[in-house]
Structure 1
Amino acid sequence: MRKSKFTEKQKLSILAEHDSGLSVADLCRKHQISPATFYKWKRSKEQEVDDKERLIKELEAQNTRLKKMYADLSMNYEILEEGYVMGKKALNPKRQERVIDELSKKYSVRRICVVLGFRRQTYYKRKSGHRPEVVDDQIAKLLHEVTKEYLAWGFWKVFHYIRNQGVIFNHKKVYRIWKREKLNLRQRPKRQRIRRKFEPISLPKEVNKGWSMDFLSDWVMSSDKKSVRIINIMDETSRRALWTEAHQSISAKKLTDVLDKVLDYRGKPDYIRCDNGPEFISKKLAAWAQKHDIELKFIQPGKPTQNAFIERLNKTLRTECLNLSWFHSLEELNEEIQNWFQHYNFNRPHQSLGNISPYDFERTMLDV
């Protein structure tokens, strides 16, 4: 496109001459331009003026919107700042009402609720006399009265009790107040169970290679009916009872003393199988086993079948001895147990041993 020989300044000067009263024909003759060129310049100038006017109007409208937006944001910021100073975290309706009452002197309730996130419906209901905290205090007082009289009752027992008395409230509302007043019964935390790996029972091929031990509980019918504990130790291969004795209590120290006595006349095994009782998992027994180079094999918690040999011995002792008599002293109980175990080791046939006694089975193993 060929460039015009007139500059923008010259074009504006020519258009100004026309505005001063010079005709188009004289103007075109004077500057040697065609009428079409003149009208083209004039139309271009008018369009520029229109564009500038439209831009000015848009800027003015945008400026008005920004001023209004700034005013709204400033007002919202003031509401937030004043509301936070007065109410901190106004979470409950009572504190929200106090904040709205104070700010409504300067701002509208609608704006306050929108900015602070409050519900206008809740505010107006409270103004009309609906105040739930009064009812909550009445329920809390009633709950305290019932729990003071019935200390062992939990929430549902108390809830149904007050409902049967004619106090009808939603259980969620009552439970919220119950938790707020910290009326829950204290529950004893569950003790974490010890985790053990499963080990299948492998029967040793030789006598005195593996032992099993466990406790058995019974009663002595004295004047105060005392409970006693019986310690049983057996050889897993021959099923021979190595030690049985009743005590009122058996500590880890007493248990290691018993094991020392068994070691003196029986010799050292490779391992001892037991459950996870407090005496068996004690540090004292672990130190004793490490000192004598004996492995302690613990069964999995809650799996008594993994210690089946000693459990079967406990059942036999209970059904054939303990359940058949009343014992009036600890000495009488121990005497009866010792007599029975002499019979068990030397005379009683054992089905898993080929219907011979444990003593005869050990003699056979030694001969072989």
Structure 2
Amino acid sequence: MIRLVKVPRSTYYYMKNKKVMKKTVSEGRSAPGYSYQANGTKVPDEQIQEWLMELISSDGFAYGYRKLTVCLRREYQLQINKKKVYRLCKKLDILLPQRRKPVVYPRKLARNRTVTDSNQLFETDIKYGFIAGEERFFFILSCIDVYDRSIVAFHIGLSCEAKDVASTLQSALMKRQLFETLEKPVIRSDNGPQFVSHAFQQACTSFGVEHERIPPKTPNMNAHIESFHQLLQDECLARYEF
């Protein structure tokens, strides 16, 4: 056969015995999904994204990712480098060259309200829990009626995106038989990326719900859901492993 195809014997056996080395490409380690504060507390990326949104909604609108890195270190004692902040800013589409005014939909700031009955004002927020041994977080989204202090709807999962927030809001309206009514509760939230997203704003418009957001660094204006989540932290998340 070698003679027929006129291939030198030495070439044939060389190619037969040659070991082909596969080129390996290092992909680097995957992003852990959290950073540490100076006291050793793990902070999920979702919380860092919320802080970034609060920063650019207040004094930090003109800041690039380097200045935002400094702000995170100073205000939240976060141990984070500028590369990660760049990645998170890119994910949120708030890098300076592409940055628009943070809110396209009209932004309605929360105001003091006199609540006299159920189904007038719902507060919502996201709480983070840590899964022991898996190095990852889970998310608890709760929606509370400010008047009767009951949790109307909630979401628990390994992720919490705008679609999950919209679905939870829809569940809350349906449980209170408010989905088809004209009068609906006001929904109050902070400035987390899920709540300022186009998807959630479109859902609120579709449901006929007024959505208001508290000013940055004013958790007292979302006090009822903050209080519930603190109780959840003290009585459950801090006492048991998940």
TM-score, length basis structure 1:
0.35
Paired letter, 1:188: R
> Among 66, 71, 74, which residue is 1:188 paired with?
66
Three-state SS of the structure 1 residue aligned to 2:166 is: helix
Report whether the alignment pairs 1:317 with 2:232: yes
Three-state SS of the structure 1 residue aligned to 2:194 is: coil
Deviation at 1:311, TM superposition (A): 0.6
Counterpart of 1:260? 170
Report whether the alignment pairs 1:301 with 2:216: yes
Counterpart of 2:58? none
User: How do residues 187-266 of structure 1 correspond to structure 2 at under 5 angstroms?
Assistant: 188-190=66-68, 199-222=110-133, 224-266=134-176
Q: What's the CA shift string for 1:39-96, capped at 9, x where partnerless?
A: xxxxxxxxxxxxxxxxxxxxxxxxxxxxxxxxxxxxxxxxxxxxxxxxxxxxxxxxxx
Q: Report the Cα distance in structure 1 between the residues aligned to 2:110 and 2:153, rounded to whole angstroms.
A: 25
Q: What's the CA shift string for 1:280-331, capped at 9, x where partnerless?
A: 011111111111211001100111111111111111111111111111xxxx
Deviation at 1:262, TM superposition (A): 2.0
Three-state SS of the structure 1 residue aligned to 2:163 is: helix
Deviation at 1:270, TM superposition (A): 2.5
Alpha-carbon RMSD: 2.4
> Which structure shows the higher helix fraction?
1
Distance 1:263 1:197, change over 3 A: closer
Bigger mean CA offset, 187-196 vs 304-313: 187-196
Q: Report the Cα distance in structure 2 between the residues aligned to 1:326 and 1:277, rounded to whole angstroms.
A: 26
| Equivalent pair of 2:118/2:145 in contact (CA under 8 Å) | yes
Paired letter, 1:265: K
Three-state SS of the structure 2 residue aligned to 1:321 is: helix
Counterpart of 1:285? 200
Uncovered stretches (5+) of structure 2, i.e. residues with no partner: 1-63, 69-93, 179-183
Q: Report the Cα distance in structure 1 between the residues aligned to 2:194 and 2:123, rounded to whole angstroms.
A: 14
> Which structure shows the higher strand fraction?
2
Report whether the alignment pairs 1:270 with 2:198: no
| Equivalent pair of 2:189/2:222 in contact (CA under 8 Å) | yes
Q: Report the Cα distance in structure 2 between the residues aligned to 1:245 and 1:206, rounded to whole angstroms.
A: 25
Q: Rg: which structure is higher?
A: 1
Q: What's the CA shift string for 1:175-195, capped at 9, x where partnerless?
A: xxxxxxxxxxx9625369969
User: How do residues 128-167 of structure 1 correspond to structure 2 at under 5 angstroms?
Assistant: none
> Among the aligned pairs, what percent are the same residue?
25
Counterpart of 2:7? none
Q: What's the CA shift string for 1:152-210, capped at 9, x where partnerless?
A: xxxxxxxxxxxxxxxxxxxxxxxxxxxxxxxxxx9625369969776443241011111
Three-state SS of the structure 2 residue aligned to 1:324 is: coil
Distance 1:245 1:320, change over 3 A: same
RCO comparison, higher one (Cα < 8 Å, 6+): 2
Distance 1:259 1:198, change over 3 A: closer
Paired letter, 1:313: F
Paired letter, 2:218: K
Deviation at 1:259, TM superposition (A): 1.8
User: How do residues 35-74 of structure 1 correspond to structure 2 at under 5 angstroms?
Assistant: none
TM-score, length basis structure 2:
0.53
Q: Report the Cα distance in structure 2 between the residues aligned to 1:274 and 1:199, rounded to whole angstroms.
A: 9
Uncovered stretches (5+) of structure 1, i.e. residues with no partner: 1-185, 328-368
| Equivalent pair of 1:203/1:236 in contact (CA under 8 Å) | no
Paired letter, 2:129: D
